[in-house]
Chains A and B, each alone.
Chain A
Amino acid sequence: MSGVLIVAEQRRGELRAQSLELITAAQAIRRAGDAVAIAVIGAAPDALAPALRLAGVDEILTIKVDAAEFDPETVEGALCAVIAEREPDVVLIPHSVDSFGYAAALAAKLRLGFATDVFNVQRIDGELVATRGGYGQKVNVDVDFPGKRTVLLALRGNVFKPPEQAASPRITAFPAPAIASRSRSRDFIELPAGDDVDMTGAEFILSIGRGIGEEANVGQFRELADAIGATLGCSRPIADAGWLPKSRQVGQSGKTASACKLYIAMGVSGAIQHLAGMKHVSTIVAVNSDANASIFGVAKYGIVGNIFEVANELRKLF
């Protein structure tokens, strides 16, 4: 067989939204006659199948495994079996914390073509080409996979729009091999709020990053945030250093700032995970002294300048 195999991701019995974006990406690389199958792996995969009945999917593979929650060796075992039987040309998975845990192992074991954090896929003269970033997103890198029968691509989230139209793909129960995994899920822990703030509900966030230089400068921006009526947030390095509580961190691994509509980022260069977590915000204003900072790639407005001077001037106006 050939075609595209998509691997949906689930956590605590719910599909992760990023999974559906892969269906759209698959259409860009499927060739005439190629089927698109989407696999869902879990202790009760049938329950998740209805949400995958979407345009662009020809078949849903439900793969029942013992592990209720993500376990790398279980996923690798199941996918080894599917890839061996279906021989897809391309396997699409989300670039996510879960895939960080298994994708490279699967690629190494099966000698697959492999690239991660891919944000564009295309066929050039029939050949699969994936685009990813390099050097902190300062360059784009096109990679190809000469001589590889199957290519595994982990796609960046929030790049492809999930399909909206429903369809009626056939559903197949795919038998998973028995895996004696060497790790065991114990528990999930919510990040404690630990602070008086609800980043999830904040509509206007002023965020600070490494550019503030030292802890003594936090106060100035806290005061500015209060004056302009914004919630003070921060990027990862500020929370890791303990300058602000972890509950103030926004970006992919911090609290999801899902209600945010205006985001002013001061001295935030824009690590990939930070950008991925904030991309949904309609108005991003980036203030940074480095004109090449990757945050300017997602911002609506950019201010290249000294963040302290801009902050001081802004404070005078409120």
Chain B
Amino acid sequence: MKIMVAVKQVAALDEDFELQGDDRGVDPDFLIHDLNEWDDFSLEEAVKIKEAWSTPVEIVAVTVGPGGADEILRKCLAKGADRAVRVWEDAIEGSDPVAIARVLAAAAKREAPDMLFAGVQSSDQSCASTGIATAAFLDWPHAAVLTQLELAPGAKSAVFRRELEGGLLHEVEIQCPAVLTIQLGINTPRYASLRSIKQAAVKPVEVLSLADLSLSAADVGESGSASRVRSMYRPQKGSAQLIAGDAAAQAARLAEIIREFKGGSP
């Protein structure tokens, strides 16, 4: 069995960030990169399946991103992925989740996995779209926000629970192959050992171009996307009244708020 795990290098903002000159993005100097938190869980879910069965399971981590994204692929290799694939060329810059999904689907057609995992959403743009859009391009069944999964290698179907609002779970059976998006908390992602990090550092990352996937520049970037960033700006400050002073003064005001509340309730 082969499981493809789609991963993303996400960016968090430095405390004092600045916007780009065109006000359509953040100045890259203020971005801190890492593996998307959700993807850490979906990779772990694949590794758990690999470890639970004697049937061989191959895990391929695939990302769409520039050279810097090799860092997260090495992290995936260190945590149990067998192979790493990165798709990039400059035309992909500015792609939205739908365009990225088109690339991932093309990569999946090339890899022909039995299952595709993706994170529910990314921590930076939180669109919750890429995995499920990939399913549409593959015409595979799909499900989102899984917090439990029973999947045996070679099985025709899998059973999962998805996490609904308000503490409710929905149990569903789905035909394989399928695209499943994985929620935080489905497992406990492992830390990579120093030894596996060293081994991963010398493993190859396969780099593919659009042509390798029979895609063209028109399939990605602005022309391949479902939306376009018009402008980016700082939100208005929240209306929170800031409680000033040192910790003692802040706590004193907080105690007042608590006592006012208690005084007002029976």
For residue B158, which residue of chain A has the nearest CB? Answer: A183
Checking A143, A184, A305 against B228 with a beta-carbon cut-off of 8 angstroms, the contacting residue is: A143
Chain A residues within 8 Å of B188, by CB: 241
Q: Is the CB of A182 within 8 A of B251?
A: no
Q: Which chain B residues (212-266) contact chain A, with CB distance < 8 Å? A: 226-235, 238-243, 247-248, 250-255, 257-258, 261-262, 265
Q: Does A5 contact B (CB under 8 A)?
A: no
Indicate with 1 or 0, residue by residue over B184-196, a CB within 8 angstroms of chain A CB atoms: 1100100000000
Cα A102 to Cα B185 in complex, Å, equals 22
Q: Is the CB of B144 within 8 A of A100?
A: yes
| 9-residue interface stretch from A25-33, A57-65, A134-142, A214-222 | A134-142
Checking B12, B98, B167 against A108 with a beta-carbon cut-off of 8 angstroms, the contacting residue is: B98
Q: Is the CB of A145 within 8 A of B169?
A: no
Q: Is the CB of B247 within 8 A of A261?
A: no
Q: Which chain A residues (294-318) contact chain B, with CB distance < 8 Å? A: 296-306, 309-310, 312-314, 316-318
For residue B137, which residue of chain A has the nearest CB? Answer: A108
Q: Does B95 contact A (CB under 8 A)?
A: no
Checking B126, B133, B137, B247 against A312 with a beta-carbon cut-off of 8 angstroms, the contacting residue is: B247
Q: Is the CB of B142 within 8 A of A105?
A: yes
Q: Which chain A residues (243-297) contact chain B, with CB distance < 8 Å? A: 246-247, 252-256, 261-262, 264, 272, 283, 285-287, 290, 292, 296-297
Q: Does B3 contact A (CB under 8 A)?
A: no
**Min CB–CB distance B240 → chain A (angstroms):** 4
Chain A residues within 8 Å of B185, by CB: 236, 239-240
Chain A residues within 8 Å of B169, by CB: 188-191
Checking A73, A253, A285 against B163 with a beta-carbon cut-off of 8 angstroms, the contacting residue is: A253
Cα A108 to Cα B228 in complex, Å, equals 15
Q: Does A68 contact B (CB under 8 A)?
A: no
For residue B224, which residue of chain A has the nearest CB? Answer: A111
Cα A140 to Cα B238 in complex, Å, equals 13
Q: Does B22 contact A (CB under 8 A)?
A: no
Q: Does B13 contact A (CB under 8 A)?
A: yes
Q: Is the CB of B227 within 8 A of A145?
A: yes
Q: Contacts A191-B169, A292-B15 given: A101-B144 contact, CB under 8 Å?
A: yes
Indicate with 1 or 0, residue by residue over A211-237, a CB within 8 angstroms of chain B CB atoms: 000000000000000001110000011
**Min CB–CB distance B130 → chain A (angstroms):** 7
Chain A residues within 8 Å of B120, by CB: 100
Q: Is the CB of A139 within 8 A of B26?
A: yes
Q: Is the CB of A285 within 8 A of B101?
A: no
Q: Is the CB of A182 within 8 A of B137?
A: no
Indicate with 1 or 0, residue by residue over B130-141, a CB within 8 angstroms of chain A CB atoms: 111101110001
Chain B residues within 8 Å of A100, by CB: 120-121, 128, 132, 144-145, 181
Cα A98 to Cα B165 in complex, Å, equals 9
For residue B250, which residue of chain A has the nearest CB? Answer: A303
Q: Is the CB of B172 within 8 A of A309?
A: no
Q: Does B110 contact A (CB under 8 A)?
A: no
Q: Does B11 contact A (CB under 8 A)?
A: yes
Checking B142, B159, B161 against A72 with a beta-carbon cut-off of 8 angstroms, the contacting residue is: B142
Chain A residues within 8 Å of B239, by CB: 300
Q: Does A148 contact B (CB under 8 A)?
A: yes
**Min CB–CB distance A254 → chain B (angstroms):** 6
Cα A317 to Cα B247 in complex, Å, equals 12
Q: Is the CB of B12 within 8 A of A105?
A: no
Cα A73 to Cα B98 in complex, Å, equals 18
Q: Does B153 contact A (CB under 8 A)?
A: no
**Min CB–CB distance B265 → chain A (angstroms):** 6
Q: Contacts A72-B142, A100-B181 given: A253-B165 contact, CB under 8 Å?
A: yes
**Min CB–CB distance A197 → chain B (angstroms):** 13
Chain B residues within 8 Å of A256, by CB: 165-167
Chain B residues within 8 Å of A97, by CB: 144-145, 162-165
Which 4 residue pairs across A and B have the least CB separation, nearest first? A313-B251, A240-B185, A191-B167, A182-B141
Q: 17 A-B contacts, Cβ less than 8 Å apart?
A: A101-B162, A134-B232, A135-B124, A136-B124, A138-B235, A139-B19, A139-B233, A190-B167, A236-B185, A252-B165, A253-B163, A253-B166, A262-B257, A285-B254, A286-B240, A313-B251, A317-B255
Binding site for B on A (CB under 8 A): 11, 69-70, 72-73, 95-98, 100-109, 111-117, 129-130, 133-146, 148, 181-191, 203-204, 228-230, 236-237, 239-241, 246-247, 252-256, 261-262, 264, 272, 283, 285-287, 290, 292, 296-306, 309-310, 312-314, 316-318
Binding site for A on B (CB under 8 A): 11-13, 15, 17, 19, 26, 96-98, 101-102, 120-121, 123-133, 135-137, 141-145, 159, 161-175, 178, 181, 184-185, 188, 226-235, 238-243, 247-248, 250-255, 257-258, 261-262, 265
